[in-house]
Structure 1
Amino acid sequence: MKLLVYSAKDFEIPFLNKANDNKHKIDFTQDALNTETAMQAVGYNAVSIFSGDDANNIVLKKLWDFGVRYIAVRATGFNNIHIKPAYQLGLKVANAPNYSPHAIAEQAATLLLALNRNLILADQQVHNYNFLLDNLMAVNLHGKTVGIIGTGNIGSVMAKIMNGFGCKILANDIEPDNDLVEFCNLTYTSLEKVCRKSDFISLHIPLSYQNHSLINKKRLGWMKKNVILINTARGAIVDHKALLQALKDRTIGAYGADVYEKENDLFFRDHSVDGISDEQLKLLLSYKNVLLTPHQAFVTEEALENIARITIQNLDEWELHDSCKNEIGYKTVSL
C-alpha cells in the first residue's frame, strides 16, 4: 500500500512510522486535504486524513480520479467526510474507533476542574505576585450533580471519573448502559432534566445532522445560572451564537471546550504573528469564564500509539482482504 498522510504533525509521525515498521510506503505532508491539495495524492492508492481535513464530494471525486481507493481516518469522528459520495464512488473509508476514551474523558475532567477551581486566574495572579484569594471561590464536586450527554466509550469513562469524585450523575443517551446505572450512581433521564438539574454538564456525542446545534438557545436557557458546560466532542454540537449570548447575559457559569465549530482553518496552526479574523472566536476568548484548548485531548502517548496502530491495521486488512473491520459503509451510518 502506498499512503499519503495529510495534516501530518511532527509529534505523530514517529508513532506512525513505528507502527508501520516499513510494511507500507508512507509519505507525509503538513498540508490539510482540500480541493487544492488533493492533487498531491497522485500516485497513491491510499490517504490518511485528520478531523480538520475536508473530504467533500468534489475532493473525493478528485482522489478517485487520481487513483486513491482507501481513506484511513486518524480519528473516531468522520463528519468531515461526505460518506455517501465516497460510497457511491467505491472509496473505502475506515476510522480509528475507541483509540483512547480515557484521553478525551480526562481532558473533559481537566477542563471542568480548571474552570471550577479558577486555576487559570490563580496562576496569572501568582505570577504577578498576587496571593489573594478573593476571586478564587469554587465549589466541591463531591455531592454535586453532573450531567453527561452521551454515555458511549468516552462518556462512560467520564461517568466513572465523576463517580470517583462522589458526584450524582444524570445521563442522556439513546442506548442506556445498565452497568453504569449499577456501578456509577447514574440515572438516565430526559435531555431537559439533564440540563435543568445538573451543576456541571459534559458533552460526549458524535456530530450528526440530528444533534447539530443540540445545545441551543432553548437548552442553554434550561441550564442553571452557574452551570459549567464542557465540550470535548465536536464544536458544532453547541450553537455558538446562543452560547455567546448566554455568556454575555451570565445565564451560564462557564464554558470549557477542546473543540470549536469553525476550527478547520484555525486549529493546528500558529496564528500568533498574524492573528485571526474569526470575530466570533475572538469574542468567545474574551470571556474570562471560557477555557478553550486547541483540540489537544488526543495528544497523549497512549492515544497516538493506538491511532497509529489502528491506522496501519486498517491498511493491512485492506491490502490483504480489500475490507477491514473499521470500515464505514454509507448504509451503516445516519447522515
Structure 2
Amino acid sequence: MKGKYWISGRKLRLYRYGGEKMNISVLDIATLGDDLSFESVLRLGKVKFYDLTLKEDVIDRIKDAEVVVINKVKLNSSNLRCAKKLKLICITATGFDNVDIDYCREHGIAVCNVAGYSTDSVVQLTVAMAFSLATHLSVYDNYVKSQKYTQSGIFNCIKPVFREISGLVWGVVGLGNIGGKVARIAKTMGADVIAYKRTPTKEFNCVDLDTLCRKSDIITVHTPLNDETYHLINEKRLAQMKKNVILINVARGDVFDEEAVTKAVLDEKIGALGIDVYSTEPMQKDSPYQKLLKKDNVIFTPHMAWGAIDSRQRCIDEVAKNIESFIEGGNRSRIV
C-alpha cells in the first residue's frame, strides 16, 4: 500500500489490548478510495491493508485478526468460524446486512457500524439528480454540444418543457437522516412535501405509500433494505404514479423491482429515473437497466452518492473511534 495511504511524520501512539498490539485487517480498502488518511486507524495497532478480498481469500485474511474492518466483504459462519482471535468487526458503512449478526452475537464478536457519516453527500446527489431530471439538463447540454444550438439561429431553446420545483409535490419515502434532510431542502425550494414513514412525524405531512405514489411529481427513496422494503417500488406502485413522475433510488437496489421499473420507463409510464444503487453491484450485463443506458430521461451513477471525500474521511475516523472505544471497554456505535 506504499504511496497510497499516508500518515503524518510524527511518532504514532500504538494502542494495546491485553498488553499486545492489536492485529487489524482492512479487507477492501479500495472501495474507500486511495485519497484518504488512515493515521487514525494506524495508531491503534498492527494494520494490514488489502485492496479487495475475494470470497476464497477471506479466511486466510481474518484467521489471525483481532479486528476486521470491511465495507462490502461478506462475513458469515463459514468464514467467521476460522477467526478464533476475532473480537471486533467494524463496518465502514451504515448498513450491516453483509455480516451474520446472529453468529457474532452467539460467539461474542462485537460489531460496529458508522451511521450518518455520509448524510450530506447522499442528500447532495439526491437533490442534484432531482434538479437535473426536472430541468432536462442532459438534453439541453447535448443540444449545445451537438452544435444544434450554434446552427439554430435563435438565442435560446426551451424544449423539452420544464417546470419549477416550487409547487410540485415531492414525495419522500423514508424520513431518516437522509430523507429528512432531502425533505427540508425540497420544502425550502417551495415544493409541497409529503412523506411515507412507518412512524409519522409532525414535521411533515405523512401519508400512506399508495397515496404518495399517486400524488407525487418527484419521488425519492431513502429506506433500508429488509423484508418489508424488498421491491417496495413494484409494478403495482409504478402503475399508481403520474406519467411524468421523477423517480429516484439512492437507498438499496432491491428496494426497486428493476424489471418493473425498466418496463415503466420504456413504456413511458413514468417520466424520468435516477439510480445510484443496484440489486447486484456493479451493474451486471444482464441487468434490466442495461436497456436504459441511452435514455435521456435516465441518470445512472455507480453507487457513489455516499462518496464525497469529506464523508469518506469522516467514515475512516469514525471507525478508528469505534476501535478505540472497544479497546477501552466502551460500546460506541455497537450493533452487537
TM-score, normalising length from structure 2?
Answer: 0.85
- The aligned amino acid for 1:74 is T
How many angstroms does 1:318 deviate by? Answer: 1.3
Residues 272-283 of structure 1 aligned to structure 2 (within 5 Å): 277-283=285-291
Range with greater deviation from structure 2 (285-294 or 198-207): 285-294
Residues 3-152 of structure 1 aligned to structure 2 (within 5 Å): 3-9=24-30, 12=33, 15-20=36-41, 22-32=43-53, 34-50=55-71, 52-62=72-82, 64-65=83-84, 67-131=85-149, 133=157, 135-152=159-176
Using the alignment, how far apart are the partners of 1:7 and 1:135 within structure 2?
Answer: 46
Kindly indicate whether residue 329 of structure 2 is the aligned counterpart of residue 325 of structure 1: no
After superposition, the C-alpha distances for 1:111-155 in whole angstroms (9 at most, x for unaligned) are 111112222233233222222636542221111000001111111
How many angstroms does 1:77 deviate by? Answer: 1.1
Partner SS for 1:15: coil
Using the alignment, how far apart are the partners of 2:64 and 2:35 within structure 1?
Answer: 23
How many angstroms does 1:3 deviate by? Answer: 1.6
What's 2:186 paired with?
A: 162
Range with greater deviation from structure 2 (203-212 or 26-35): 26-35
What's 1:315 paired with?
A: 323
Any unmatched runs of 5+ in structure 2? 1-21
Please say if residues 119 and 306 of structure 2, whose CA atoms lie closer than 8 Å, have aligned partners that are also in contact: no
Partner SS for 1:47: strand
What's 1:252 paired with?
A: 270
Query: Which residue among 289, 302, 308 is the counterpart of 1:294?
Result: 302
- The aligned amino acid for 2:227 is Y
Change (3 A) 1:245 1:88: same
Range with greater deviation from structure 2 (120-129 or 136-145): 120-129
Once the two structures are aligned, what percentage of the paired residues are identical?
A: 28
Change (3 A) 1:123 1:61: farther
How many angstroms does 1:214 deviate by? Answer: 0.8
Please say if residues 223 and 252 of structure 1, whose CA atoms lie closer than 8 Å, have aligned partners that are also in contact: yes
Please say if residues 87 and 109 of structure 2, whose CA atoms lie closer than 8 Å, have aligned partners that are also in contact: yes
- The aligned amino acid for 1:23 is L
- The aligned amino acid for 1:150 is G
Residues 200-219 of structure 1 aligned to structure 2 (within 5 Å): 200-219=218-237
Partner SS for 1:9: helix
TM-score, normalising length from structure 1?
Answer: 0.85
Please say if residues 262 and 289 of structure 2, whose CA atoms lie closer than 8 Å, have aligned partners that are also in contact: no
How many angstroms does 1:11 deviate by? Answer: 6.1
Kindly indicate whether residue 324 of structure 2 is the aligned counterpart of residue 285 of structure 1: no
Using the alignment, how far apart are the partners of 1:247 and 1:10 within structure 2?
Answer: 31
Using the alignment, how far apart are the partners of 2:30 and 2:179 within structure 1?
Answer: 27
Please say if residues 199 and 224 of structure 1, whose CA atoms lie closer than 8 Å, have aligned partners that are also in contact: yes
Partner SS for 2:121: helix
- The aligned amino acid for 2:39 is K
Please say if residues 7 and 33 of structure 1, whose CA atoms lie closer than 8 Å, have aligned partners that are also in contact: no
Using the alignment, how far apart are the partners of 1:33 and 1:78 within structure 2?
Answer: 18
Equivalent pairs, count: 309
Using the alignment, how far apart are the partners of 1:68 and 1:45 within structure 2?
Answer: 4
Range with greater deviation from structure 2 (290-299 or 135-144): 135-144
Please say if residues 25 and 68 of structure 2, whose CA atoms lie closer than 8 Å, have aligned partners that are also in contact: yes
